[in-house]
Chain A
Amino acid sequence: MNSILTKFNWFGLAGGATTILLIVVSLVSPWWQLTVGDDLVKVAASPVNMNMGFLGTSFTIPFIWALNMVSILTLLASGIAMLVYSVIPRKSYSKHLLGFGYKKPLFTVLFFVIGLVATTMICQAILNFNVPLMGSTTSTLPIPFVSGITLTVLLSAGFQWTFGLAIVAAGLCIAARLYHGKVAAVPSV
């Protein structure tokens, strides 16, 4: 029983599988979503897929699409590395695979949150326009070159279940790193 527990790094297996699952679900379900009015403006954001909609027209910014590709490939490489490491945790190169894979989901989550917070702060500082990270708020939008018209909009934003899955994936990968000591300590038969 003990040998089965230490033969593989189960946290790594779960972390790698969850990371790959995260890529798939993030392509269709965002980590964070913002709606303005009754879906007049919609922002569906995740490191894997960023989509914006304005008055019924959906679009993606090419540079952000390239960053999405970076995230997809990073998470995919991390997931594969974690899976390979987890089934052969005692090989000489396994620690390199673990080191390569376990931090990437955590950094992806951190960069995403930092990016979101920075974007909302920039909106507040430059445009004087309050974008909530979670919940709803009413904001008054500046209309460039037009005076005498006040545009007030209801903004609703929130993190989606996929963001929770990303945190789980990051947590499992970190747990795999911590569990590695137990797996590696058992001498290979």
Chain B
Amino acid sequence: MDKVRLLLTLITIAIVVVPIVGMVLAYQGNLLGLFIPPEINEIADDLTGGDGDNGSGLEAPTMVGEPTYDEATRTFSVSFQYKNTFHLDITIKSLTGNIECDEHRFPLGNASLSKPVSIDAGETGTLTVLGTWTEEAIDHFENMHAGEEMVDVVLVDFAVDISGIQLQMDQGQMEQSMQVPNPAP
């Protein structure tokens, strides 16, 4: 009976000690690796040191095609291409922000994503941003940019929802430059 008790006690000790000691021995040359697997470093590298334009693993959107403008609704449309550098499919559900004149920092209106865009891992998707000029913006274009066919503007204070994660940039934190057709050339 005592042998059974002793055997069960030994089994209990072995069950706890063997896996933990085995793992510690396996990682004795790299104890940090016990808690931080190599995948974590790969993710950190992807986010901070990848092949992205800005020195990180994140690609900045690039403007593609010709922007269009509808005079009746005072709405312009600009398309961007964005490469999903992550290892999973993402959906850009929404994007909103304010538009300012790049030269004069005059508020011109607001912009938003035309529709949610799903981009598979490693693929490139096209985002179409729609913006509406205010009355004051039209006046600004008439007075300050007369004769210019295209005007440099920036998208500021924007908020983006990527697959349920919402990023809100505070004032002056991040800008996306673009060229839009002058509504009052």
Inter-chain contact total with CB atoms closer than 8 Å: 110
Known contacts: A59-B39, A61-B37, A62-B37. The answer to whether A153 contacts B164 by CB under 8 A is yes
Q: Are A150 and B170 in contact (CB under 8 A)?
A: yes
A and B contact pairs by CB, cutoff 8 A, 27 listed: A40-B164, A55-B43, A56-B86, A56-B87, A57-B39, A57-B42, A59-B37, A59-B40, A61-B34, A62-B35, A63-B34, A63-B35, A66-B19, A67-B19, A70-B16, A70-B20, A77-B11, A92-B1, A93-B1, A96-B5, A97-B4, A100-B8, A148-B169, A149-B168, A152-B165, A153-B164, A153-B165
Q: Are B88 and A149 in contact (CB under 8 A)?
A: no
Q: Is B166 on the interface with A (CB-CB < 8 A)?
A: yes
- Report the separation of the CA atoms of residues A36 and B12 in the bound assembly, to the nearest whole angstrom: 37
Most chain A C-beta atoms within 10 Å of own C-beta, residue among B8, B91, B170 = B8
For B158-171 the 0/1 string (1 means CB < 8 A from A) is 00001111111111
For B122-149 the 0/1 string (1 means CB < 8 A from A) is 0000000000000000000000000000
Residue B35 contacts which of A58, A61, A154 (CB distance < 8 angstroms)? A61
Residue B168 contacts which of A54, A66, A73, A150 (CB distance < 8 angstroms)? A150
Residue A150 contacts which of B12, B88, B167 (CB distance < 8 angstroms)? B167
For A66-84 the 0/1 string (1 means CB < 8 A from B) is 1101100110010001000
Q: Is B46 on the interface with A (CB-CB < 8 A)?
A: yes
Q: Are B39 and A62 in contact (CB under 8 A)?
A: no
Q: Are B43 and A40 in contact (CB under 8 A)?
A: no
Q: Are A154 and B164 in contact (CB under 8 A)?
A: yes
Q: Write the chain A residue with the least CB distance to B89.
A: A56
Q: Are B87 and A148 in contact (CB under 8 A)?
A: no
- Which label, helix, strand, loop or mixed, suits the secondary structure of the A interface? mixed
Q: Are B46 and A55 in contact (CB under 8 A)?
A: yes
Contacts of B34 in A (CB 8 A): 61-63
Q: Are A93 and B165 in contact (CB under 8 A)?
A: no
Q: Are A100 and B37 in contact (CB under 8 A)?
A: no
Kindly identify, within residues 35 to 61 of chain A, every residue whose CB is under 8 Å from any CB belonging to chain B.
36-40, 54-61
Q: How far is the CB of B1 from chain A (nearest CB, A)?
A: 5
Known contacts: A40-B163, A56-B88, A148-B169. The answer to whether A65 contacts B23 by CB under 8 A is yes
- Report the separation of the CA atoms of residues A39 and B172 in the bound assembly, to the nearest whole angstrom: 30
For B1-21 the 0/1 string (1 means CB < 8 A from A) is 100110010011001100110
- Which label, helix, strand, loop or mixed, suits the secondary structure of the B interface? mixed
Kindly identify, within residues 150 to 170 of chain A, every residue whose CB is under 8 Å from any CB belonging to chain B.
150-154
B interface residue numbers (CB < 8 A to A):
1, 4-5, 8, 11-12, 15-16, 19-20, 22-23, 26-27, 33-37, 39-40, 42-43, 46, 86-88, 90-91, 121, 162-174
Known contacts: A55-B43, A70-B20. The answer to whether A96 contacts B8 by CB under 8 A is yes
Contacts of A70 in B (CB 8 A): 15-16, 19-20
- Report the separation of the CA atoms of residues A100 and B39 in the bound assembly, to the nearest whole angstrom: 38
Residue B164 contacts which of A38, A74, A93, A100 (CB distance < 8 angstroms)? A38
Contacts of B163 in A (CB 8 A): 37-40
For A137-152 the 0/1 string (1 means CB < 8 A from B) is 0000000000111111
Contacts of B35 in A (CB 8 A): 61-63
Contacts of A67 in B (CB 8 A): 19-20
- Report the separation of the CA atoms of residues A57 and B121 in the bound assembly, to the nearest whole angstrom: 12
Contacts of A38 in B (CB 8 A): 91, 163-164
